[in-house]
Structure 1
Amino acid sequence: MSWLPTLLTETPEDGYELAIKLSRMAVKKTQPDDAAREKMRADYAFNADSLTNVSQVVATNFQTIAQANNYWRD
């Protein structure tokens, strides 16, 4: 089974959790080395700009998921 079988979710909150997962998977697929990701975490964990950028990526992914779910209007 695929790690991403669908963009459809029951609720907006579930959609937001999926947006976070999409964002995290993008990082993991881009940098598959666990040790390298762990080492870099210290560089961005206390950097306000990096954390803001993460929020922007999650927001973009959430927008995609919301559209796929017809903004949960059904």
Structure 2
Amino acid sequence: MVDSWLPSLLTETPEEGFALATKLARVGVKSTQPDAEVRERLRPQYAEDPNSLIASSQVIAINFQTIAAANAYWRD
């Protein structure tokens, strides 16, 4: 069996779910732009652009919604 970096969307707590949502967003960026040098070169442009930061937050929020649903919103 091949090891997976994402074996499950299940997490113990909402905080762990948020960390996973953030990781999913970061992996998505790496998948979209696999060249680390290009990502580093572009970072200063989006790091100070409010619209880019809001868009990044939206991606994390969408990922968190998915993870929360997978975890039944951490309810028993």
TM-score between the two structures when normalised by the length of structure 1 = 0.98
Unaligned runs of at least 5 residues, structure 2? none
Q: Structure 1 residue runs of 4+, over 2 Å off?
A: none
Letter paired with 2:74: W
Match of 1:42 in 2: 44
Paired position in structure 1 for 2:60: 58
Q: Give the C-alpha shift of residue 45 in structure 1.
A: 0.4
Distance (Å, rounded) in 2 between the aligned partners of 1:52 and 1:14:
22
Across the aligned residues of Structure 1 and Structure 2, the Cα RMSD in angstroms comes to 0.4
1:10 positional shift: 0.1
Length, aligned pairs only: 74
Structure 1: how far apart are the matches of 2:50 and 2:34?
Answer: 24
State the percentage of identical aligned residues.
62
Show structure 1 runs of 5+ residues with no match.
none
| Aligned mate of 1:9, from 4, 8, 11 | 11
- Cα distance, 1:7 vs structure 2: 0.1
Task: Quote the Cα distance in structure 2 between the aligned partners of 1:7 and 1:59.
Answer: 15
Displacement of 1:51 in angstroms is 0.3
TM-score (norm: length of structure 2) = 0.95
